[in-house]
Amino acid sequence: MGEFITLLLLLGVVGAVVGAATNYMAIKMLFRPYKPIYFKKWKLPLTPGLIPKRRGDLAIQLGKTVTDYLLTPDTIKKKFLSTEVRASVLTFAQDKVKQEIFTDEKTINDWLHLAGIQTLPQTVEGKVDEIIHSQLMSVKNTLSSKAIREILPTDLEPVLDRKVDEAVEQILQKGEDYFLSQEGAMAIKNMLDDFLSTKGSFGGMIQMFLGDSTSLVDKVQRELVKFLQAPGTAALLQRIFSSEWEKIKNRPAMDFMNDVNFDTIEYSIQSYAKNALAIESRLDKTINDYWPQGIQWVTVELLPKVMEKLFIVAENKIEDVLKRLNLAEVVREQVDSFPIAKLEELVLGIISKELKLITWLGGIIGGLVGVIQAIVVLLTN
């Protein structure tokens, strides 16, 4: 009986050790060894481990599983483009717009500084000076190189030509009115007195015969009026004015602007433009100052429409994007490049308790087999 108990314990312990060791080795051989083992040219069987040996197939299957069952277009639409997600994204965008853009704490200058633009006012003013200088130089070149006739608009020259005739009529009419007025009569009298006083004894003799020059004023007035009303006078003045006007039109405009100081004009225009623009003070205001209704329009009108458009585009492009991403290949490459030791650590860390139970279960089964063998041996002897 003692021998039977000894055999029973021996076979039970041996069976338990063998069972536990076998299961332990089987678990380890899922990952170990990481690389094939060679004795000269002969490769040791079952090396490398199961997972390292079939990692390529595993990577392919994982890639297909991800694309066929996990990250499908329908799954992404359901999870990432749902009504709740859309509402959440819209609310987030509206809050960010209110907090970051339509805020009284940041001026336009602050936004420019955030964008790395530090000298916008000076740059704009410099550009304004350059534009004004360029335009004035262009004007000067035009006035210097072109005659007045070339500068005048085509529809303005005939109007000015007609104004010459009107000017002659106006001058003659104003002259007639002047000489018939009391002021004109005094001017004629003064001219007569001055004329006679310059003629010495002859003039004195005429004054002695005629007395005061007032008697001659009426005669001179009538003759002057007759001269102004004569058709020949108007024709003469029209010829003179027209001739001079033609000469003026054929001369460069700059001939009449020699005394104009363009530098002063340029400086005045530049100063006025910069003062009117007031870039620095305008940039020290917020977006709300220029657009008080902006926050309402952007958050209520613009953002919902933009988000809806973006989600529609995203829905239509998901399948194409997934094809372009080629997730199956990405997963395969990642699995292929993932260190086996890290993968082993990850898997064993997750199911370590279960693997220990499997090892113990192997030991228990091995021990039972040993006990059964001991009983069989006893019965057969």
pLDDT at 197: 63
Q: Which helix (DSSP H) or strand (DSSP E) does residue 38 occupy?
A: strand 38-39
pLDDT at 130: 92
Query: 189 with 213: CB under 8 angstroms?
Result: yes
Residue 137 token pair: 């130089």
Among 49, 12, 20, smallest CA distance to 33 is for 49
CB within 8 Å of 230: residues ≥ 6 apart: none
**Environment class of 227 (CB within 10 Å of its CB; exposed 0-12, middle 13-18, buried 19+):** middle
Residue type, 94: Q
pLDDT at 122: 87
Tell me what the mean pLDDT of segment 139-150 comes to: 82
What is the percentage of the chain residues whose pLDDT exceeds 90? 7
- φ/ψ of 102, rounded to 5, equals -90, 70
pLDDT at 18: 84
Distance CA 212, CA 229 (A): 28
DSSP string, 54-110: THHHHHHHHHHHIIIIIS-HHHHHHHHSSHHHHHHHHHHHHHHIIIIIS-TT--HHH
Task: Give 38's strand partners.
Answer: 43
Query: 19 with 365: CB under 8 angstroms?
Result: yes
What pTM value is reported for the model?
Answer: 0.50
CB within 8 Å of 269: residues ≥ 6 apart: 132, 136
- φ/ψ of 42, rounded to 5, equals -95, 125
For 49, other C-beta atoms within 10 Å of its C-beta total 20
Q: Tell me: the pLDDT tens digits for 123-138?
A: 888 999 999 999 988 8
Distance CA 146, CA 152 (A): 10
Q: Tell me: the pLDDT tens digits for 193-224?
A: 666 566 555 545 555 445 455 666 777 788 88
Helices 262-277 & 120-145 angle (0-180, nearest 10): 150
Distance CA 223, CA 339 (A): 124
pLDDT at 11: 76
pLDDT at 53: 76
For 366, other C-beta atoms within 10 Å of its C-beta total 23
pLDDT at 102: 87
How many Å from the N-terminal Cα to the C-terminal Cα in the chain? Answer: 13
Distance CA 217, CA 180 (A): 10
- φ/ψ of 7, rounded to 5, equals -65, -40
Among 143, 150, 101, smallest CA distance to 294 is for 101
Query: 108 with 278: CB under 8 angstroms?
Result: no
pLDDT at 193: 67
- Measure the CA angle with vertex 293, ends 288 and 296; round to 5°: 110
